[in-house]
Amino acid sequence: MSTATLHWGAFTEARFLREIWQRKPLLLRQAFPGFKPLLSRAQLFALAGQDDVESRLLQRAGRRWQLDHGPFSRKQLPPVEQRNWTLLVQGVNLHVDAAGDLLRQFRFIPDARLDDLMISWASEGGGVGPHQDAYDVFLLQAAGRRRWRIGPVEDATLQPGKPVKLLAKFTPEEDLILEPGDMLYLPPGWGHDGIAASGDCMTYSVGFRAPPQGELLKEVLWQLAEAQQGGAIYRDPPLRSGASPALLPAAMVRFAREAFSRLKPDAAMFENVLGLYLTTPKPQVWFESVETPAATLRRACRQTGCRLDRRSKMLYTAQALFLNGEKVDAALASSALLRQLADQQNLSAAQVQSASSAELAALADWCSIGWLQPGHERSAESSPE
């Protein structure tokens, strides 16, 4: 298990949230003193070769950029001595327990905002070009040195014909060199351009999603539409023979408007939509079920506790619990024990022993489908699968 601990220096979590978060950048020198990469270069390259891992290869030759999507065999990656290339591996926390442990250092931000941990490896001169992101990000230097040029974006025009979204006009205000253990926070929309200042440069990006209203609205409308059962069937008003058969009937338009006007979502509906949406696993994620009898799983949880699988996402509201894109049974919606599981991401044996029969049955069921693992602590630090 990772023992890396975030050090705020002159800051505190409270001061950071009050003065910096989503307002302006902040450089924390030695935020993780003596930090060592969680994966070696070889392990990261091997991870990029897996079918269930999202990875990208970005190469630059002068003004020409080339983007390829993984998985990549080692032979498909350029030599490490070659300049100006970057390998980006998304969702490392879904595959490596130590990466998930590192993310726990950032749980002063709500879990609903957390996206993933991306690792970028770059040869000397490698980078992804000047760009801006629509989310908050912490950029932790894990190995080598990276030069960051950052500044507000006055003109968001993009360079035409590029495979990545590069700012056409970017005027940085600060020029920073990050060493291993240093970390840079950038709020949404802040321009940045990171270039590897040495070979074997590795940067960890902890991203916090900020979904736009339009995206959330689509989810709300989809859920509302799914909830509608049947309803009246459209019937034509008295028809007259006419010369305009292709004309869309005004009565049909009114019928559709009336159906829409009956949709009156309340706060619980929006909570439900967000809970399902934000806990739905990414497309590359799947869970391995086990054939262990339920009684054995219940006994294991009582004896050793249990913990959320590193790929699981669990959130709750005052009225509901959500796990991996599903709403937990209403009878357990107010369970204090299951809310503890969501907050702590694990339960001790003593906590499980206080579980009701319904709570224990839910824990065993989640273990059987791979959402939960018996054991309060991991037995050893894991390596990429």
- Decide if 287 contacts 369 (C-beta within 8 A): yes
- pLDDT for res 211: 79
Cis amide bond preceding 71, omega within 30: yes
- What stretches of 179-222 adopt beta strand conformation (E)? 183-186, 190-196, 201-208
Provide, rounded to the nearest whole percent, the portion of the chain with pLDDT above 90: 80
- pLDDT for res 379: 52
Pairing, β 321-323 against β 326-327: antiparallel
- pLDDT for res 384: 53
- pLDDT for res 216: 82
Which DSSP symbol is given to 253? H
Q: Which amino acid is at 369?
A: I
Segments of the chain scoring below 70 in pLDDT: 1-3, 229-230, 378-385
Q: Which amino acid is at 353?
A: Q
Report the 10 Å Cβ neighbour count for 364: 23
pLDDT digits (tens, 9 = 90+) for 155-199: 999 999 999 999 999 999 999 999 999 999 999 999 999 999 988
Domains in the chain: ranges and CATH: 13-208 (2.60.120.650), 294-374 (3.40.366.30)
β-bridge mates for residue 321, sequence order: 316
- pLDDT for res 1: 42
